[in-house]
């Protein structure tokens, strides 16, 4: 979750008192403080939400707290109110009795010593309160749960809207920052919380194993990550945090799927998909990213140690798992640890937090951390097929363009201009698929060597099985070439150079919030981005997306 900036003077005028809340109490001291709305892009200044406005918010956070004039201002007070209110019979249909706590921190694996005491480890918790019927309140909080300042952001599923509502506590006031639909269209797209929650969904950047930065079954964040005697060490949040693998499987992945299904339910009317481009862009663009990393801890990397390269760096592996025949892609690309260490040294890679004067040469806790295709894009792609908007064949052919660059592909992004604003389901006249194919055909006629022509050629391969086999053969050949090439020191350096390029791209995204999320490099600031060719070599691409 990302913090939203706004003009505090406007807030003072709106709510009639200074923005410094009474820090001594969890509940607001006098009266019932207002709830404000600040949807960046729509509201030039905070707007007071009336009781009628609040009634339109149907998520359990609003129903248990805001609509009942509850105003807990600390995490402790909030959790206590959830506990109490969830056991009240009259609120059973909003109750969120189950609690799971997850811990993360970009500096969670850096031991607390006098030398690192000033480092911002960004240690924080995600607290999930859940109940029947997909009831969900997800909170992002820092390590000061008894205070009225600091990080306290809330996402809560509104079943009536079919969207997540976004809230945050700022300066002693609860703010409603919009819902997921605001992420999809201007003037709110990419603004406020939606610079990180780009498509209005839940965000867990490090969604897959080894869950870099998270307390998980790959590596715990130990109590020693906190300063000795830190009050959080005896707090309920630290009693037994669950592993990130549970958050991935039980909360985030189904939460993203739920949102995407709701988007389709809303957008499909009378057999036509409205706002089709907001879905289709997730096929051709890198709307956001997840972060993957090797299963190998960097401190174990040494000459002779084989280091697994995350396949997501080389391919949109999860998409291809759905779109190609089983077992088309097999085994792991591995590099030698000695080669990797020399590449890391050569490129000046280090974890760095300039604000704390911290610099640690080398990789993050797990090696080869890198942006990868986002699960929310994959989920949208699969839903487009399931809903009959696009055929698997067309999706396969589009993703096969520049397949060696699973993110940041300017060639696939170029297809965006062919994506219709609306279209019927299926493949008949007026369908999204037919409109796209018509546009591709026009482009191919004008430019026979274009990527559009290539897509049409793949589609003309034969039946679906033949197309799967043809594209699968190309991709398998690339993957095997990568396995072979990565055995040389130069190619490992190339791989690391590619990863450096993608890390730089990541730092331009709203989802990049902390200095220690990914390592930095010592290349010149204007070093050209690089891409991967289908023969597993790299090349510079000055006009790359991002």
Partner 1 sequence: MAFTFTATGDLTEMNTGAAADWHAEVSGYFNASRNPPPFSFAGSRNQFFNPADGVEADAVEKDIGWTAFPRPLTISSATDEERWFLAEESRFEQVEYCEWSTTRDASGKVIKISFTCEDRNYFRALFRHQPDVVLSLYREHVSPDVQMSDLVDGLGNYVPANRWNANSSDGAMHMIGQPNTIGAAVELVAGACVVRSNPDGTLKTGARELILCGRYGDAERHSDPTIGAEVNELARAGHVIAMANPPQLAFESISFSGWDVPDGVAPEHCWTHTRGADGRAVRGVLEAPEGASFVVGDIRINGKVIRFGGQVADGIRIKVTGLAHRLGQATIEAETGCLGDPVFGAAGGATPTPTPAAGQVNRFRRI
Which residues contact partner 1 by CB under 8 A?
A: 109, 111, 113, 209, 217-220, 222-224, 240, 243, 245-246, 249-250, 253-254, 257, 295, 297, 299-300, 308, 311, 317-318, 320-322, 326-327, 329-332, 382, 386, 479
* Structure tokens belonging to residue 395: 């999706």
Q: Which is nearer to partner 1, 248 or 452 (CB)?
A: 248
Listing DSSP states for 378-430 in one string gives HHHHHHHHHTTSS-HHHHHHHHHTTTT-SSS-HHHHGGGGG--S-EESSSSTT
As a whole number of angstroms, the distance between CA 298 and CA 179 comes to 39
Q: Which is nearer to partner 1, 35 or 137 (CB)?
A: 137
Rounded least distance, CB 436 to partner 1, Å: 23
Q: Which is nearer to partner 1, 80 or 257 (CB)?
A: 257
Rounded least distance, CB 387 to partner 1, Å: 12
Rounded least distance, CB 330 to partner 1, Å: 5
Rounded least distance, CB 219 to partner 1, Å: 5
Phi, psi for residue 430 in degrees, rounded to 5: 85, -5
Q: Which helix (H) or strand (E) holds 276?
A: helix 276-284
Q: Which is nearer to partner 1, 203 or 309 (CB)?
A: 309
Rounded least distance, CB 118 to partner 1, Å: 17
Give how far Cα 332 sits from Cα of 30, 54, 395, Å.
62, 52, 25
Q: Which is nearer to partner 1, 51 or 222 (CB)?
A: 222
Q: Which is nearer to partner 1, 130 or 188 (CB)?
A: 130
Q: Number of helices and strands (H, E) in the chain?
A: 17, 19
Beta bridge partners of 336: 306
Phi, psi for residue 291 in degrees, rounded to 5: -115, 130
As a whole number of angstroms, the distance between CA 498 and CA 155 comes to 35
Q: Which is nearer to partner 1, 221 or 437 (CB)?
A: 221
Q: Which is nearer to partner 1, 100 or 189 (CB)?
A: 100
- How far is Cα of residue 545 from the mean position of the Cα atoms in its chain? 18
3-state secondary structure (DSSP) of residue 472: helix
The conformation of residue 210, written as its DSSP 8-state character, comes to: T
Rounded least distance, CB 331 to partner 1, Å: 6
Q: Which is nearer to partner 1, 265 or 457 (CB)?
A: 265
Q: How many CB atoms lie within 10 A of CB 41?
A: 16
As a whole number of angstroms, the distance between CA 224 and CA 442 comes to 62
Q: Which is nearer to partner 1, 186 or 240 (CB)?
A: 240
Q: Which is nearer to partner 1, 160 or 331 (CB)?
A: 331
Rounded least distance, CB 332 to partner 1, Å: 6
3-state secondary structure (DSSP) of residue 234: helix
Rounded least distance, CB 99 to partner 1, Å: 15
* Structure tokens belonging to residue 400: 């096969």
Q: How many CB atoms lie within 10 A of CB 217?
A: 14
Which of these, 396, 544, 518, 533, lies nearest to 478 by C-alpha position? 533
Rounded least distance, CB 518 to partner 1, Å: 20
Rounded least distance, CB 537 to partner 1, Å: 20
* Structure tokens belonging to residue 501: 């390029």
As a whole number of angstroms, the distance between CA 130 and CA 111 comes to 33
- How far is Cα of residue 301 from the mean position of the Cα atoms in its chain? 28
Q: Is the dihedral of CA 527, 529, 533, 538 positive or negative?
A: positive
Phi, psi for residue 306 in degrees, rounded to 5: -80, 130
Rounded least distance, CB 100 to partner 1, Å: 11
């Amino acid at each position: 979750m990302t913090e939203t900036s706004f003009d505090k003077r406007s807030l003072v005028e709106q709510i009639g008192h200074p923005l410094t809340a009474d820090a001594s109490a969890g509940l607001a001291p006098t009266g019932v403080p207002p709830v404000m709305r600040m949807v960046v892009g729509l509201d030039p200044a905070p707007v007071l939400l009336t009781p009628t406005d609040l009634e339109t918010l149907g998520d359990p956070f609003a129903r248990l707290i805001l609509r009942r004039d509850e105003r807990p201002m600390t995490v402790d007070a909030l959790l206590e109110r959830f506990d109490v209110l969830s056991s009240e019979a009259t609120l059973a249909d909003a109750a969120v009795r189950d609690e799971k706590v997850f811990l993360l921190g970009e500096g969670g694996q850096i031991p607390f010593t006098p030398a690192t005491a000033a480092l911002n480890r960004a240690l924080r918790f995600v607290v999930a309160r859940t109940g029947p019927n997909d009831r969900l309140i997800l909170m992002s909080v820092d390590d000061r749960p008894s205070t009225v300042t600091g990080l306290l952001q809330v996402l809560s599923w509104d079943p009536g809207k079919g969207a997540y509502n976004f809230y945050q506590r700022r300066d002693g006031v609860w703010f409603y920052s919009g819902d997921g639909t605001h992420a999809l269209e201007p003037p709110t797209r990419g603004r406020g919380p939606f610079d990180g929650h780009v498509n209005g969904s839940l965000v867990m950047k490090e969604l897959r194993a080894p869950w870099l930065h998270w307390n998980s079954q790959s590596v715990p964040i130990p109590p020693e990550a906190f300063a000795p005697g830190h009050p959080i060490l005896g707090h309920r949040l630290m009693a037994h945090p669950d592993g990130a693998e549970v958050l991935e499987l039980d909360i985030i992945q189904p939460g993203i799927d739920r949102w995407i299904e709701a988007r389709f339910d809303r957008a499909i009317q009378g057999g036509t998909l409205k706002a089709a481009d907001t879905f289709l862009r997730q096929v051709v663009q890198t709307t956001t990213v997840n972060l993957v990393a090797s299963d190998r801890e960097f401190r174990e990397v040494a000459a002779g140690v084989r280091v697994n390269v995350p396949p997501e760096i080389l391919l949109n592996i999860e998409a291809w798992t759905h779109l190609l025949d089983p077992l088309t892609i097999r085994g792991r690309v591995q590099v030698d640890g000695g080669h990797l260490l020399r590449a890391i040294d050569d490129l000046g890679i280090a974890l760095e937090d300039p604000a704390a004067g911290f610099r640690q040469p080398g990789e993050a806790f797990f090696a080869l951390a890198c942006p990868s295709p986002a699960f929310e894009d994959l989920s949208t792609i699969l839903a487009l097929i399931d809903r009959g908007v696009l055929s698997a064949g067309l999706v396969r052919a589009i993703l096969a363009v520049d397949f060696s660059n699973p993110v940041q592909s300017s060639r696939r992004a170029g297809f965006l201009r062919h994506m219709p604003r609306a279209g019927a389901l299926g493949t008949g006249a007026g369908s999204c698929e037919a409109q796209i194919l018509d546009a591709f055909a026009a482009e191919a006629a004008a430019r026979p060597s274009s990527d559009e022509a290539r897509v049409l050629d793949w589609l003309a391969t034969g039946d679906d099985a033949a197309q799967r086999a043809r594209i699968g053969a190309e991709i398998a050949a690339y993957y095997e070439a990568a396995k072979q090439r990565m055995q040389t020191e130069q190619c490992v350096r190339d791989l690391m150079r590619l990863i450096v390029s993608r890390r730089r791209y990541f730092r331009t995204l709203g989802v990049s919030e902390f200095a220690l999320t990914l390592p930095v490099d010592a290349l010149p600031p204007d070093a050209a981005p690089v891409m991967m060719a289908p023969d597993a070599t790299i090349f510079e691409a000055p006009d790359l997306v991002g």
